[in-house]
Amino acid sequence: MAVTKQLRISGHVQGVGFRHCLAREARAHGLAGWVRNRRDGSVEALLQGDAAAVDKLITWARRGPPAARVDCVEVQAEPGETRYSGFEQKPTE
């Protein structure tokens, strides 16, 4: 079953390769969506795909890459009206 989840990851998550690593993990799990830095220092991501694969990526996001320190991962279910065909890194918003 396909799901869409939006994540907001806070802590020391910018300048440590978090977006790049999250995008690589998402593609490896066959997920679609996007990831971007936020001006407040957090990272935001939208994940779309198989529920088990989304859950695996959320688990990964709670650790992040080795240089990151993740304090909090907020997860919200999204209606998923927009369908994404790949996974991209978006510019900071």
- Judge whether 36 counts as a catalytic residue: no
Name beta bridge partners: 13: none
Question: Rounded to an integer, what distance in angstroms lies between the CA atom of residue 33 and that of residue 26?
Answer: 8
- Judge whether 83 counts as a catalytic residue: no
For the residues of 31-66, what is the DSSP string, one character each? -EEEEEE-TTS-EEEEEEEEHHHHHHHHHHHTT-ST
Q: Which of 8, 19, 36, 62 is catalytic?
A: 19
Residue whose pair of structure tokens reads 């990831």 in the numeric block? 35
Q: Which of 27, 37, 38, 39 is catalytic?
A: 37
The answer to whether 62 touches 72, Cβ cutoff 8 Å, is no
Active site residues: 19, 37
